[in-house]
A = this chain, B = another copy of it.
């Protein structure tokens, strides 16, 4: 039976990467594979740029020591979601925010804390956290090593609403939550380039 072959890499990433010869893969002009490079800081992938976490913060305490890498979703893929890898350096934190869209979070590196509504959860390797619609949240790295995690979201989503401590007085009253909400604009320990 004759069957036409599918088009090769119909939605190849914008920066295709050749597989290293040592792996003895079959040759291909542009395989849709991005190799993880385990010896770099922060965690990096061949052909995947490290980008700013968000646009410039309104204040120095809005977020600190966090980078973003979009692993899937910015290369013309025909998917309705984005897979991002965020890495928070020791002492850093993400924005305090809420929004209508949900986050699916998977810990990949180190251990961090997640403010989820009125709870705090620790998140380690391959732990899963679901941040539901309109749930106030922030991720914090109070440990000595980088804290990295996947965060998967719908591609079509609302913009996050950034919150200030004064916006969540009920959470500030909780001594377990207050340290995660009131972050000082301290120096983080960036990962070396």
Query: Which residues of A does B touch, CB under 8 Å?
Result: 1-3, 5-13, 19, 23-28, 31-36, 38, 43, 45, 48, 71-72, 75, 77-81, 83, 98, 101-102, 104, 106-108, 114, 116-136, 150, 152-154, 156, 166-171, 174, 176-177
Q: Which residues of B contact A166 (CB under 8 A)?
A: 1
A80 to chain B, nearest CB (A): 5
The answer to whether B169 touches A34, judged by C-beta atoms less than 8 angstroms apart, is no
What are 9 A-B residue pairs whose CB atoms fall within 8 Å in the complex?
A3-B169, A5-B117, A11-B130, A13-B130, A25-B122, A26-B174, A31-B116, A33-B123, A79-B104
Q: A6-B136, A117-B8 are in contact. Are A77 and B98 (CB under 8 A)?
A: no
